[in-house]
Amino acid sequence: MYKEEELMTKVHTESVNAERTRKVGCFVACAMEKLNLMDEATIKETQIHEKINELFEGRDQGIAHKIARKCLKKARSITQKCEKCFSLYVCIAESVHKLQGHEEHVREETEEIEETEEQI
C-alpha cells in the first residue's frame, strides 16, 4: 500500500514504482471481489452504494456517495482490473485528503512562505 503523502506527491507515477502500483491495485481488486463489489473488471456500482448505506450515516453518507460517484466515473473506462482498482484507490484517497482540508493547509503554508520571502 501507499501512504497518503506518497499518493499526494504522486510517488506511484514514478516508473520505479510500477510493480508496486500494480500489486496494490491487484490487492484492492481482490478485496473488492471478496466483498462482492467487483466481478472480473466490472465494479458493481449498486453494491458499492449499498455498502456505503450500511457503513455511513447522515452527512458522511452523502459525502461518501458523492466521492464514490466521482471516482467510479473516473475509473469506469479502465479495462484492466488492477489498474481500475488502483485508480479508484487514488481517487478516493485524494478526495478524502481534500475533504480533510490538507490542501488548504498547504496553501496557507505557501502564502506564509511567500510573505516571508517578500519581507526579506
For the chain (length 120 residues), average pLDDT per consecutive 10?
A: 93 96 98 96 97 96 97 97 98 93 52 47
Q: Say how many Å lie between the first and final Cα of the chain, rounded.
A: 42
Return the residue matching grid coordinates 488548504. Answer: 104
Phi, psi dihedrals of residue 107, rounded to the nearest 5°: -60, -45
Count of C-beta atoms within a 10 Å radius of residue 55: 10
**Per-residue DSSP letter, 57:** -
pLDDT of residue 110: 43
Count of C-beta atoms within a 10 Å radius of residue 19: 9
pLDDT of residue 102: 64
**Which amino acid type is present at position 75?**
A
